[in-house]
Amino acid sequence: MILIKLAKNKNKTIKEAYGKYYARPVVTETIGIDELAEHMASHNTPFSKGAIKGLLTDMVSCVKELVLQNKAVKIDNLAIFSIGIINKMGAASIKEWSLAKFVEGYRLRARATGKLSNTQLSLDANAKNAMDLLNSSESAAGDNTTGDTTQGGGTTEGGGTSQGGTSQGGDYTEEYQCVYHEHMAKMIEERPYLWATHVWNLFDFAADGRDEGGKHGENQKGLVTMDRRIKKDAFYVYKAYWSKDAFVHLCGSRYTDRAEDVTEIKVYSNQKKVTLFVDGAEQETKEGARIFRFRVPITGTHTIRAVSGDCTDEITVRKVDAPNPDYIFNKQGDVVNWFDKEDFKADHYSISDTLGELAKNEMANAIVQRLMAQASASRGDVAESVKDNPALQRMMQRMTLASLLKQAGDAVSEEQMRALNDALQKIPKN
């Protein structure tokens, strides 16, 4: 929804408009690259905030470079960026014109395109007077903004009990993994020209430098557990897309205790129709493809069964008053929480800078190299794999030091993190 306010025109030079009220958009917040990267990282992406920030920073730099080369850069469904000229005045003739006399400067032009074009926005926009939302009187309309009136955004909480695609990055639940792979499987299907596709990874595997979801030394991105005993729900996403063997699979069999009054029941299947039964009674039949979602009220312990032809699957869910704490990984003293809110000196280096940025300064780079040497001593195999992988090195250059250290888990304490940041904060940026 687009919020608007009414502003009184106080320009007396335009007589027909003076004293009249006109609609103006309400800007509730200005989002920088840091906030944009954080927002993008929350949208079920496998990339960290640091990696996204590095990519966005590179994009800004490249757009500037290309625009200054008299190229127009088109970002589909956003804008076409190009150079514009600010003229002081017009010359009476070509002979009279000179750069110094008639050109005041240059500006960046951004022309909306695609889904953000004026025509499309007019079709899609749902505008609302901000005063109406705030139950304010008509007399309040004017030049003053009312502040941030947005609701939502940044209010979702992790935890591991999310259903229906609301999980976020940093969530190690099966629900989050499913959201990710549902997206990836759909992307693969929509691109038939791909001659080969691969899923990372079939099995959980050993990774000494990992400390994820309470399991040290294990990368948990597999579709099957490390011991090969449990096929996670995400395994059946690809079975629904790729297998010809008829099946239905009910997700959430390991998510029994649920605090919500109405829970989402998700079914994966390669069949065209699925019927859901609750405690033996037929609840609903849905037609579709691969992913079937049902909303089921729960009051006690219920047996949920999905049926399609001869295929069937069954789980049990139980209504509880509060989320089961066993489902929530609450790591005390997590070393990455404090610096997200730390008031760093922006003109000095910090752990929030990328490795590439730190490498540009001799003193900052020396600190990072000492850290890398220590990491190499304790994580020899991991460090060796990085050294011999140029692509991985380039990716790491775009990562913030904080995001890199996060992957070290308990190997780096909060005190060590603070000491490292304090040392970097003493080095001014050129």
The rounded distance, in Å, linking the Cα atoms of 92 and 282 is 83
State whether 252 and 134 are in the same domain: no
Q: Calculate what percentage of the chain has a pLDDT beyond 90.
A: 26
**Which range is least confidently modeled, 75-84, 197-206, 233-242, 343-352?**
343-352
pLDDT average, residue stretch 113-135: 56
Banded model confidence at residue 218, pLDDT cuts 50, 70, 90 = confident
Which positions ≥6 away from 30 have C-beta within 8 Å? Answer: none
Name every residue whose Cβ is closer than 8 Å to that of residue 107 and which is 6 or more positions away in sequence: 83, 84, 85, 86
256 and 215 fall within a common domain = no
Indicate which CATH number applies to the domain containing 299: 2.60.40.10
> Which has the higher per-residue pLDDT, 384 or 267?
267
- Greater pLDDT, 313 or 113: 313
- Position 193 in a domain: yes
Burial class (CB in 10 A: 0-12, 13-18, 19+), 51: buried
The helix/strand/coil state of 115 is helix
- Closest by CA to 257, choosing from 297, 300, 295, 293, is 300
Is 348 in contact with 286 (CB distance < 8 Å)? no
Q: How far apart are CA 281 and CA 276, in angstroms?
A: 9
Judged by DSSP in three states, 219 sits in strand
Question: How far is 292 from 267, CA to CA, in rounded Å?
Answer: 5
Q: Which of 12-16, 257-261, 309-313, 320-324 has the lowest mean pLDDT?
A: 12-16
> Quick check: is 407 in a domain?
yes
Indicate if the pLDDT at residue 215 is higher than 90: no
Quote the pLDDT of residue 289: 93
Lowest mean pLDDT among 100-104, 246-250, 414-418: 414-418
Looking at residue 76, its pLDDT comes to: 85
pLDDT at 142 over 60: no
Residue 200 — left, alpha, or beta (φ > 0 → left; ψ -120 to 50 → alpha)?
beta
Other Cβ atoms closer than 10 A to 363: 13
Please state, rounded to an integer, the average pLDDT across all residues of the chain: 78
**What is the per-residue burial (b if ≥16 Cβ within 10 Å, else e) of 330-344?**
eeeeebbeebeeeee
Q: What is the pLDDT of residue 137?
A: 35
Tell me, yes or no, whether 296 lies in a domain.
yes
Q: Does 351 lie in the same domain as 316?
A: no
With 80 as the cut, is the pLDDT of residue 127 above it?
no
Higher pLDDT, residue 55 or 396 = 55
Pairing, β 311-319 against β 257-258:
parallel
pLDDT at 418: 80
Backbone angles phi, psi at 275, to 5 degrees: -110, 135
Q: Read off the pLDDT of each residue in 161-182 and give the average, rounded to a whole number.
A: 66
Mean pLDDT of 260-287: 95
- Looking at 189, 221, 242, the residue that finishes a domain is 242
Same domain, 373 and 268: no
Lookup: tokens for 384: 């060796």
Q: Is residue 312 part of a domain?
A: yes
Is residue 294 scored above 90 in pLDDT?
yes
> How confident is the model at residue 172, as a pLDDT?
74
Q: Lay out the sheet containing 127-129: strands in order across.
A: 21-25, 2-8, 127-129
367 and 261 in one domain?
no
The pLDDT confidence band at residue 216, using thresholds 50, 70 and 90, is confident
Q: How far apart are the first and last CA of the chain?
A: 42
Residue 252 pLDDT exceeds 50: yes
* pLDDT reported for residue 283: 93
Report d(CA 406, CA 211) in Å as an integer.
9
398 against 387, higher pLDDT: 398
Shared-domain flag, residues 260 and 275: yes
b/e 137-161 (16+ beta carbons within 10 angstroms → b) = eeeebeeeeeeeeeeeeeeeebbbb
The winner for highest mean pLDDT among 10-14, 180-184, 243-247, 362-366 is 243-247
Q: Is residue 333 part of a domain?
A: no
Angle at 206 between CA 205 and CA 210, to 5 degrees: 110
The per-residue pLDDT for 152 is: 30
- pLDDT for the residue numbered 299: 93
Least trusted range by pLDDT, from 143-147, 186-190, 239-243, 405-409: 143-147
Residues 27 and 126 in one domain: yes
Block residue for tokens 């099957």? 224
Quote the pTM value: 0.48
End position of a domain, from candidates 207, 242, 277: 242
Give me the mean pLDDT over the 266-289 stretch: 95
Do 420 and 370 share a structural domain?
Answer: yes
Instruction: Let me know whether 185 and 224 are in one domain.
Output: yes
Q: pLDDT grade, residue 9 (50/70/90)?
A: confident
Domain termination residue (choose one: 277, 294, 323): 323
Give the DSSP letter string of 4-61.
EEEEE---TTSTTTTT-EEEEE-------HHHHHHHHHTTT-SS-HHHHHHHHHHHHH
Tokens of 132: 């109406």
Is the pLDDT reported for residue 413 higher than 90? no
On whether both 69 and 183 belong to a single domain, the answer is no
Q: What is the mean pLDDT of residues 293-319?
A: 95
Query: Does residue 98 belong to any structural domain of this protein?
Result: no
* Residues pairing with 258 in the sheet: 319
* Number of domain units in the chain: 4
Range with the poorest average pLDDT among 88-102, 217-231, 400-414: 400-414
127 or 324, which is more confident: 324
The distance from CA 157 to its chain's CA centroid, rounded to whole angstroms, is 14
Domain housing 190: 175-242
Residue 329 parent element (H or E): none
- The 3-state DSSP class for residue 271 equals coil
50 vs 401: CA distance, rounded Å: 9
362 with 273, same domain: the answer is: no
311 plus 287 within the same structural domain: yes
pLDDT recorded at residue 342: 56
Mean pLDDT for 269-297 is: 95
Strand 290-297 relative to strand 281-287: parallel, antiparallel, unpaired? Answer: unpaired
Other Cβ atoms within 10 Å of 425 Cβ, number: 15
Range with the poorest average pLDDT among 103-107, 155-159, 168-172, 199-203: 155-159
Higher pLDDT pick, 328 / 294? 294
Q: What's the confidence (pLDDT) of residue 164?
A: 39
In a domain, 231, yes or no: yes
Residue 96 lies in a domain: no
